[in-house]
Structure formats: C-alpha cells, structure tokens
Amino acid sequence: MDKTNPSSVRAWLLALQQRITGAVAELDGTPFVTDAWQKEPDEVLQGNGITLILEAGKVFERAGCGFSQVRGPSLPPSATQHRPELAGAPFEAMGVSLVFHPRNPYVPTVHMNVRMLAATPAAGSGEAVCWFGGGMDLTPYYGFSEDVVHFHQACKDALTPFGSDKYPRFKQWCDEYFYLGHRQEPRGIGGIFFDDFQELGLARSFAMVQSVADSFLAAYLPIVDLRKNTPYGEREREFQLYRRGRYVEFNLVWDRGTHFGLQSGGRTESILMSMPPLASWAYRRQSEPGSPEERLHKEFLIRRDWV
C-alpha cells in the first residue's frame, strides 16, 4: 500500500496528534479539549480538522495541537513565493501543528509542525506537484546550555539517516526563518525547518518528515521534566510575558503558516491557537547587566552551533 497517499498520510497525522497530546496530558494531569470542525459547503475553502487544546493546566498555561486537511481553488501568495508556476493552482494541504506555552518561565515554549501540500498546475497543464514541510524550534525564556544541546541533538539524530547535509541545512534555514526582522533578533534558539521539500522522492521525503515528528517528545519532554518545578517569582514571570510578546510579533508579522491559513480562508480560531494566553510589551526594556535575562540575549539569542 502506498504510504504517501492522502488517506495514509491523514491517518498517520491523526495518530501523531493523539500520541503527542496523550503524553502531554499525562505529564500535565489536565485533559485536552477536543474541537472538531468542518468548513461549510458554501465556503471557498473546503475541509475539516481537529483542534486539541489544553488551557490553565498545572504545567502548561496553554497547549494547542491541531490537525487540518483543506482544499481550495487557488494557492495563496504565501505558498507560491518560491513556486510562481503554481500561482492560482488548486491545492490540498494537511498537517499537524502545535505550540505549547508552559506556565513556569524556566520551561521553554516549543513549536512543531509537519505538513504535506499538493497542487495541480492551473488549467490542468501537468501532474499534481506534492511537497512536504515542517520542523521544530525552541524558545526559552531562561537559557540552559544542556537543554539547548539536547534539543538540537534530537533534531540532528532524526535527520542523519536521510543525509549528513540535512541537519546543518535545516538548522540554518530555521535560524534564518524564525527571525524577527523588525527587531533584528532570533525568536529563540532555533532547531530545524524545511519547506518545499521533495528531493528524496515522495516516499523517502515523507519518511524524513515522520522521523522528525516522531522525535518531538524525546526532544522536548525531558526538558519540561527537568525545569517544571524550578521556583520562580514575579521577576521571572514578567520577563516571560515580555518575551511572549516577541513570539506574538513573529507569528503575526512573519510566519508563513499563519499567513497561509488566513489568506486561504482557514479557520481563524485554530490558526491562532499558537498565541499565548497572556503576553506583555514594554517600551525599550533593558535587562540588568550580568542578569540571567541579559544572558539570554547575549548567549542564547544568537546564531551558533550547538552540536
């Protein structure tokens, strides 16, 4: 059986969503709420999805993990900037995307996404073109080298079977993508990111995507276990909310996934589940010299090799 046909990919994505949220719910002690949705027949974009959301948990203030499968008559600009020949092409997209915002400031926020997109050139001028995208990245509020090394090593281990070039390429891509151009600073300490990927052939490319997704729990949960009971006070909480503001800025201003969802007429509530429940902004905030907050900026929010 072809493991890359839409029904097989859908089944794997749904199982991935359940596996990840099951592990997180067990860690937190709070269940996810299930919100299944369907686009109305008269809407331009057709499809359905399942949003699983955990809010006000013991460990996670907000954790969202969504599956979606949608079809539309025309690819939006965010999806064709590197494929101009597909401008206006009918498309189908499916994927799982998650963002977990922890309660404790010493636990980093994490993002992971895996997706497949297929498009048929306009006017039936060719066969359907299929490609994959995805990755995961970490956004700490307080930096710990051992946490960052662990996360990057997990990313590297997931990609090494598919070529020694993949981790360095995708790490650099992540560093360049998750960057707030208007602030001239990275969103976090990176990870891996890839898009428009099909160079290994359909089956092998999908296997790579599966390897990345299957490594997520081992990459993130040990960090959560290590930091979730670290004592913190008002100072750490204030800094966490301030840094969350940067996360919001990236998602709304720069993120292609957010733009694709909104431009294609996707479900707004599910698209914006990545937002933290609380965030704050301060005018020209400066960290104290020598403080852990300054250390985050100087030692972690920079591009460097971690493994």
Report CA 59 to chain centroid distance, whole Å.
19
Map tokens 């081992």 to a residue: 218
* Both structure tokens of 86: 């597909």
111 assigned to active site: yes
The burial class, CB within 10 Å (0-12 / 13-18 / 19+), for 150 is: buried
**How far apart are the C-alpha atoms of 43 and 267, rounded to whole Å?**
11
Give how far Cα 188 sits from Cα of 2, 6, 55, 119, Å: 38, 33, 23, 32
192: number of Cβ within 10 Å:
28
**How far apart are the C-alpha atoms of 235 and 19, rounded to whole Å?**
35
Residue of 101, 111, 150, 259 marked active site: 111
Which residues, at least 6 apart from 170, have a Cβ–Cβ distance to it below 8 Å? 135, 155, 159, 192, 193, 194
Sheet of strand 91-102: strand arrangement: 33-38, 46-55, 60-72, 91-102, 109-119, 129-139, 190-197
Active site members: 111
